[in-house]
Amino acid sequence: MKRLAILGSTGSIGTQALDVVAAHPELFEVEVLSAHSNAAMLIEQAGKFKPNAVVVTDETKFDTVKSALASLPIKVFKGAEALNDVVQWDSVDMVLGAIVGFAGLHSTLAAIEAGKRVALANKETLVVAGEIVMQKALEKKAHIIPVDSEHSAIFQCLVGEDMEQIEKVILTASGGPFLGRKPNYLVNVKASHALQHPNWTMGAKITIDSATLMNKGLEMIEAKWLFGLKDEQIEVVIHPQSIIHSLVQFKDSSVKAQLGLPDMKLPIQYALSFPRRIGNDFKRFDFKDYAKLTFEQPDYKTFRNLALAIDAMHKAGNAPCVLNAANEVVVHAFLQNKVGFLEMSEMIEKTLERVSYIEHPTLEDYEASDKEARVIAAELAKNSQLSIY
Ligand code: NAD
Ligand code: MG
């Protein structure tokens, strides 16, 4: 029986993780749930899964959650700090990091600090502070198991392999809803359109990141740290059907891939059950349903966020942290139709130019860079044509 702390339990990953838990009550037990502001869903989940504790990070929602759960033996905590505490409890065997954005960094680090196994969906944690996170995980012997489908695919391809034998990894990308589109089209797209991903149903932020290809850039940085790769060992290929979830090429030229229908429940389940595989009733992939699996090169000129992320990865230091913070701000503004689709790249680029570069940042430096980048990006967003009119 594994006792889980599920951080971000009301999100797309969090709810799917709870589906996996519900299907295997003999394997998993929920010890902690956390949500930011969706009090109603958190209350419902707590009633169903009977955790020992819940954390609501948006403090304005605390009273609602506290009073709704008053008759149950469930501890209710508020604020981001509480997350760092609960993940370290002896009663927690494994932490699922499914918070979105920089907000997931500290709780992931706290779990690692306590030597917990972490199933990590929150890629921004590795984008921002991958070196510190992986170093700490090594020191504390805390295993980090990827949940992101591409990294889960790579992880599955690497079971039983010698890491020294990796020549390169190839991350697949669906290309998102605007694959093949050019700037003259993209200039006018709205959030409602960008939110329609062809293959995956996900939280709003990652869905926009998939439409801009920033998601793939973030995933390159995530792969670099997770698997200890050099930048030039990481490639991206567009594969619109999202059946091959990623590939590893070895030094003997052999290429391994992991395939399946696009359904996050599989990588979530694998991360929770690793090293075991467990049976399920998920829909099976059938070659007869797919006449063609196709591949093409990304359009780096049109989808500039991918190029910006690769530059930030090469630049290293605090550059990925700044890129991530600026991206979080402009995506938030885009979701409210306050900045244009193409403007997002311009604003991220300008923010990267304006925040001073730090070659070897400490955790405090990352926090300061994140804050500085957010102020600059927010200012740029405020001056967008769309915000003004
Ligand atoms: P989501 O927006 O659906 O859910 C986010 C969760 O985080 C919610 O439970 C929310 O309450 C919580 N949260 C939001 N802001 C918070 C804050 N400031 N402090 C504490 N908690 C906060 O997001 P998602 O799509 O589930 O994605 C979660 C993470 O998983 C992201 O890092 C994303 O990149 C990654 N991921 C998601 C998918 C997917 O299919 N959804 C796939 C791969 C990776
Ligand atoms: Mg992914």
pLDDT band of residue 34 (cuts 50, 70, 90) is very high
Distance (angstroms) between ligand 2 centre and the Cα of 346 equals: 24
DSSP state of 59: G
Distance (angstroms) between ligand 1 centre and the Cα of 249 equals: 30
Name the residue among 258, 97, 242 with its Cα closest to residue 169.
258
The best mutation among 19, 81, 100, 108 to test binding of ligand 1, ranked by most ligand atoms within 8 Å of the C-beta, falls on 100
Residue 116 pLDDT > 70, yes or no? yes
Only one residue has tokens 């230091």, namely: 317
Distance (angstroms) between ligand 1 centre and the Cα of 239 equals: 24
Q: Could you give the CA distance from residue 72 to residue 50 in angstroms, rounded to a whole number?
A: 8
CB 313 within 8 A of CB 320: yes
Q: Could you give the CA distance from residue 162 to residue 159 in angstroms, rounded to a whole number?
A: 9
The β-bridge relationship of strands 53-56 and 75-78 is parallel
Structure tokens at 40: 């109603």
pLDDT at 388: 61
Name the residue among 77, 118, 112 with its Cα closest to residue 95.
118
CB 344 within 8 A of CB 305: yes
Q: What percent of the chain has pLDDT over 90?
A: 97
CB 57 within 8 A of CB 80: yes
Q: What percent of the chain has pLDDT over 70?
A: 99
Structure tokens at 233: 């060992």
Name the residue among 175, 180, 158 with its Cα closest to residue 229.
158
Distance (angstroms) between ligand 2 centre and the Cα of 275 equals: 21
Single-letter amino acid code for the residue at 198:
P
Q: Is any atom of ligand 1 closer than 6 Å to the C-beta of 124?
A: yes
Distance (angstroms) between ligand 1 centre and the Cα of 355 equals: 26
The count of other CB atoms within 10 Å of the CB of residue 110 is 18
Nearest ligand to residue 264 Cα: 1
Provide the sign of the torsion angle of the four alpha carbons 240, 242, 243, 246, taken in this order.
positive
Q: Is any atom of ligand 1 closer than 6 Å to the C-beta of 122?
A: yes
Nearest CA to ligand 1 atom 42: 148
Give the mean model confidence (pLDDT) for residues 241-249.
98
Q: Is any atom of ligand 1 closer than 6 Å to the C-beta of 121?
A: yes
pLDDT at 200: 86
Structure tokens at 213: 């290809």
CB 45 within 8 A of CB 10: yes
Helix (H, G, I), strand (E, B) or coil at 96: strand
Nearest CA to ligand 1 atom 31: 100
Helix (H, G, I), strand (E, B) or coil at 356: coil
Nearest ligand to residue 98 Cα: 1
pLDDT at 136: 98
Higher pLDDT, 221 or 385: 221
CB 272 within 8 A of CB 94: yes
pLDDT at 359: 98
Q: Is any atom of ligand 1 closer than 6 Å to the C-beta of 64?
A: no
Q: Is any atom of ligand 1 closer than 6 Å to the C-beta of 10?
A: yes
Q: Is any atom of ligand 1 closer than 6 Å to the C-beta of 203?
A: yes
Residue 115 pLDDT > 90, yes or no? yes
- Domains of the chain from N-terminus onward: 2-146 (3.40.50.720), 152-261+299-388 (1.10.1740.10)
Nearest CA to ligand 1 atom 2: 203
For 274-312, the pLDDT digits (tens) are: 999 999 999 999 999 999 999 999 999 999 999 999 999
The structure's pTM equals 0.98
Structure tokens at 149: 């489908």
pLDDT at 389: 53
For 305-326, the pLDDT digits (tens) are: 999 999 999 999 999 999 999 9
For 48-98, the pLDDT digits (tens) are: 999 999 999 999 999 999 999 999 999 999 999 999 999 999 999 999 999
